[in-house]
Amino acid sequence: MTKRAQQRRLGWSLFGLTVALVLVMLWLSAGREETFDTVLYGLLTLSLSGAGALIVTRHPGNAIGWIFLALGVSGGFWESAEGWGYLAAERDLPGGAIGEWIILWSWIVDFAGWALVFLLFPDGRLLSRRWRPWLGVLAMGVLLALPGQALDAGLGSEFTSGSNPVAVEGLPTQLLLTAGLTLMLATLVTGVVCLVVRFRRGGTVERQQLKWMALAASLLVVTGLAALFLWYDSILVRVAVALALNALPIGAGIAIFKYRLYDIDVVINRTLVYGALTAMLAATYLAVVLVLQLALNPLTEESGLAVAGSTLAVAALFRPARARIQALVDRRFYRRRYDAVRTLESFGAHLRDEVELDSLSAELRTVVADTMQPAHVSLWLRRVQP
């Protein structure tokens, strides 16, 4: 068996292990924690491991695939340990405190894994040797943050027993955690800067790959900001956050594995248009409802008329608002395409009125040069015998 085949087998074996751990987690956690959390963590773990296995299948030398597989297996283990903590506390079984303790600090390892992904994406290698010291910074941050979180005596409320079983009294855990997280956050920010540098220096293929990751990260940032205010009030926000979290490994997997199958520029364009359209229509709906309720309050106490009027107003605004937003997005972010469309529209209008063949030939060559930007343009006309 070749080394490449062995790596593929190992990748899918780790994916199978992740599936088994998720099944154990579901069995241990079902009915003992909130259903949404169980489903979210299970799907995220499977997304990470599945994307990692696919990347390893096609590009076994890319470290991103192996990092995703490691995050998937570790995530399944963390969640299974937490599930055992719930079960042990419920049935007075041994080892429950260890499960609660593992999940207490596991997020630090996940944070470090994602910081490493941003540093290495998309080819699994650092941009240059100058970026290598940041690996040491990340490792130092983990070494400081782990004991700062895991050995903190002040986190007793996280345990069923009311105290951390491995706490070390007198250890400056808060200082260690703060210092470690500062180093890890600095590495994550450096990873984002590295992606920007890659985008500016990279060719067409690498830029397309980076756009997939940028889109997924942008969705997570937007939904995360909404979750800061509406996490406990809106199930839609929680579902959006769950989808955005899963979009990170899926987007990275598509970028590395099958990026040529999809036009990321179209995806980004539609996301910008419909995201802005949804926000504008929602704000318009709420504003119209409020105005109509204030106006109709002296006449009727029911709000049904205001809601109906607002719905009709939003429906009437949909098409013109979409056209305006689409034009704005194209003009701001896709200027070349926007100019090309305007040029073709102008040529079409001119074509209806022009009958002089030489003038049309010159106009056609100009339009092709402006829209397609070829190295050379020539026009051949077939002479028709009368």
pLDDT along the chain (386 residues), means of 10: 84 93 89 81 91 87 92 93 88 87 93 94 89 95 94 86 86 93 95 91 80 82 81 78 86 72 53 64 69 60 59 70 69 54 60 59 62 61 61
Helix axes 204-230, 235-257, angle to 10 degrees: 170
Asked whether residue 253 falls in the same domain as residue 327, the answer is: no
Q: Which domain holds residue 51?
A: 3-263
**pLDDT confidence of residue 17:** 94
Residue 34 has a CB neighbour count (10 Å cut-off) of: 9
Asked whether residue 245 falls in the same domain as residue 280, the answer is: no
Asked whether residue 173 falls in the same domain as residue 290, the answer is: no
Asked whether residue 156 falls in the same domain as residue 288, the answer is: no
Residue 188 located in a structural domain: yes
Residue 339 located in a structural domain: no
**What is the C-alpha to C-alpha distance for residues 269 and 282, in angstroms, rounded to an integer?**
20
Residue 355 located in a structural domain: no
Residue 186 located in a structural domain: yes
Q: Give the torsion through C-alpha atoms of 298, 299, 303, 305, to 10 deg.
A: -140
DSSP codes, 88-123: HHHHT-TTHHHHHHHHHHHHHHHHHHHHHHHHHTTT
Asked whether residue 148 falls in the same domain as residue 286, the answer is: no
Asked whether residue 28 falls in the same domain as residue 161, the answer is: yes
Residue 191 located in a structural domain: yes
Residue 238 located in a structural domain: yes
Asked whether residue 39 falls in the same domain as residue 131, the answer is: yes
How many domains does one find in the chain? 2
Residue 49 located in a structural domain: yes
**pLDDT confidence of residue 264:** 47
Let me know the angle formed at the C-alpha of 374 by 369 and 377, rounded to the nearest 5 degrees: 65
Residue 170 has a CB neighbour count (10 Å cut-off) of: 6
**What is the C-alpha to C-alpha distance for residues 77 and 110, in angstroms, rounded to an integer?**
12
Asked whether residue 282 falls in the same domain as residue 186, the answer is: no
- Reported as half-sphere exposure (CB side, CA atoms, 13 A), residue 212 has a value of 24
Asked whether residue 159 falls in the same domain as residue 302, the answer is: no
**pLDDT confidence of residue 261:** 43
Asked whether residue 282 falls in the same domain as residue 302, the answer is: yes
Asked whether residue 157 falls in the same domain as residue 292, the answer is: no
Q: Which of 289, 305, 333 is the last residue of a domain?
A: 333
Token pair belonging to 345: 């529209």
SS3 call for 367? helix
Q: Which of 240, 263, 286 is the last residue of a domain?
A: 263
Q: Please enumerate in sequence order all residues whose Cβ is within 8 A of that of 109, keeping only pairs 6 or more positions apart, or say none.
A: 74, 142
Query: Do the beta carbons of residue 110 and residue 186 sit within 8 Å?
Result: no
Q: Which of 204, 228, 263 is the last residue of a domain?
A: 263
Query: Do the beta carbons of residue 250 and residue 216 sit within 8 Å?
Result: yes
Residue 365 located in a structural domain: no
Asked whether residue 221 falls in the same domain as residue 285, the answer is: no
**pLDDT confidence of residue 354:** 58
